[in-house]
């Protein structure tokens, strides 16, 4: 494996990671913002009220996006094995 192939695989790995993680992080940030605004409006600052919605949203979103996430990771794994199989 040459340096160029390794560089391309690393770049693809980082881009795949960012594209897989971005929807989850965006949803968690959005839920956190909504919960924090509601907590500020009601003046009720309980850590459980901030933590539970984020965990529930992450779990539900992971279940909904699981086929897409697995497809992206599988495509990357296939590319890695192809590059290793070519011996380049």
DSSP E strands, 21-80:
none
Specify whether the CB–CB gap between 76 and 12 falls below 8 A.
yes
- For residue 10, give the 3-state DSSP assignment: helix
Per domain, the residue ranges of the chain are 3-86
Specify whether the CB–CB gap between 79 and 12 falls below 8 A.
yes
Average pLDDT over residues 51-63: 91
Q: How far apart are CA 21 and CA 43, in angstroms?
A: 32
Mean pLDDT of the residues in the chain: 88
- pTM for the model stands at 0.74
* Tens digits of residue pLDDT in 32-51: 999 989 888 888 877 777 88
């Amino acid at each position: 494996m040459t340096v160029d192939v390794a560089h391309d695989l690393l770049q693809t790995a980082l881009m795949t990671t960012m594209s897989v993680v971005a929807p989850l992080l965006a949803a968690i940030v959005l839920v956190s913002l909504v919960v924090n605004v509601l907590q500020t409006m009601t003046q009720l600052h309980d850590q459980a009220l901030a933590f539970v919605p984020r965990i529930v949203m992450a779990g539900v979103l992971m279940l909904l996006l699981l086929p897409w996430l697995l497809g992206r990771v599988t495509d990357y794994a296939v590319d890695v094995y192809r590059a290793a199989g070519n011996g380049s």
